[in-house]
Chains A and B, each alone.
Chain A
Amino acid sequence: MSRQDALQGSLPLLVLKILDRRGPLHGYGITAQIEAISDLLRVEEGSLYPALHRLEEAGWVRAKWMTTENKRRARIYGVTPAGRKQLQQEESRWASVAAAIGQVLREA
């Protein structure tokens, strides 16, 4: 399994979780956090920004232009209350799917 495939469909879940745990971040910060935590997962950068914009459109994250410490304009994303609710749902869905697959792998 290639590294991108491991992320298929789970990118919004990871983004919401990172933003919930680490607080507001810019897009590159999200990429760096995911890579720092996991050696296996690497964010397909080309799909990160469309995913972020879709989350924003859905109202699960909110974006703000802010100036970073080295005077650069950066778009900072933060999770909204609706995003937190969505994260809980996605997390439990992911857990039950993973558990179900694990069960099949063990018992088949």
Chain B
Amino acid sequence: MSWISRIGNALRPGRAAADLKDELQFHLDRRAADLVRDGLPRAEAELLARRQLGNPLQLGEFSRDVKSAVWLESLLRDFRFGIRMISKYRKASLAAIASLALAVGACTAAFALVDALIFRPLPVAGPHQLIDLARLLSPENQPHESTSFSYAQYQLLRDAANGQADLFAMIPGLQPSLSDDSGGFSENLRTEAISGEGFRILGIQPALGRLIQPQDDSPASANPVAVISYGFWKRRCGSPSSQKRASNLSIGQRSVNRASDSEIFDFGAAND
């Protein structure tokens, strides 16, 4: 007997039980008939036949273990019982289901955050090689770390690395407001400033246009540029071909004409 028939028997336990009952009843009838033919009264013959066969309930248990997927059968029974109890105690069930849903949702949200921030490697080239530089300050015997460097310090560090390491600088948390040149909309953005080598070191490719380059570091640069995230680009600028529309946006006083396909900025975009 295959697993398929076992599962079939589990789904229709009534039928398998009826089959077994038929089979045993046939045996009893034939045995009783033979005993009657040997000269026993019918009532006595039936009793003797039953005694010889043994307890039919116990026989049924043995056969069910062999012929049916018992675990599936009891699972189905539990399932039906659960449904019955839920429909009997609606309010209590609803409260239990709602609190379970909330708890599961909260856990999922917490995990998604932890996953994005900690478990998933950053979508850049060599995420395990990234190092965050900090320096130890000890004003009035209260030492603490600082990750702020002046631009001059950054330049010194970069040159001191002397090809052994690549350095770039970022300033997080600038919050200029965004507006359409035609006055269509405006919103607050989360932006970060990055030094010219940053995108190259992180190995990020633009979906369209170009990224910020070392030449853009010059304070006298005639055309200040910004890179917008892919998500923001799609949300605000419509179809991927609308580079023109993107250039109509103004962030602070800078014009925008680039889009990056990196997800790295989507952490910020998610807050928009």
Contact = CB atoms under 8 A, between A and B. Distances in A.
Interface of A: 26-28, 31-32, 45-46, 49-50, 53-54, 56-57, 59, 65, 72-75
Nearest to B31: A28
Contacts of B34: 32
Interface residues of B, number: 22
Given A53-B67, A73-B22, A74-B23, 20 more contacts: A26-B23, A27-B27, A28-B27, A28-B31, A45-B52, A46-B54, A46-B58, A49-B23, A49-B24, A49-B27, A50-B63, A53-B66, A54-B66, A56-B67, A59-B1, A65-B19, A74-B26, A75-B22, A75-B23, A75-B26
Contact of A26 (B20, B26, B67): B26
Contact of B30 (A28, A46, A50): A28
Instruction: Summarize B's interface: helix, strand, loop or mixed.
Output: helix
B53 interface: yes
Interface of B: 1, 19-20, 22-24, 26-27, 29-31, 34, 52-55, 58-59, 62-63, 66-67
Contact of A50 (B1, B31, B52, B62): B62
Contacts of B62: 49-50, 53
Contacts of B55: 46
Contacts of B30: 28
Nearest to A54: B66
Contact of A49 (B1, B29, B31, B59): B59
Contacts of B63: 49-50, 53
Which of A26, A28, A65, A72 has the most chain B CB atoms inside 10 A of its CB? A28
B53 A46 contact: yes
B46 to A, nearest CB: 14
Nearest to B54: A46
A98 B63 CA distance: 31
A56 B1 CA distance: 6
Contacts of B52: 45
A65 B34 CA distance: 22
Nearest to B2: A59
A65 B54 CA distance: 23
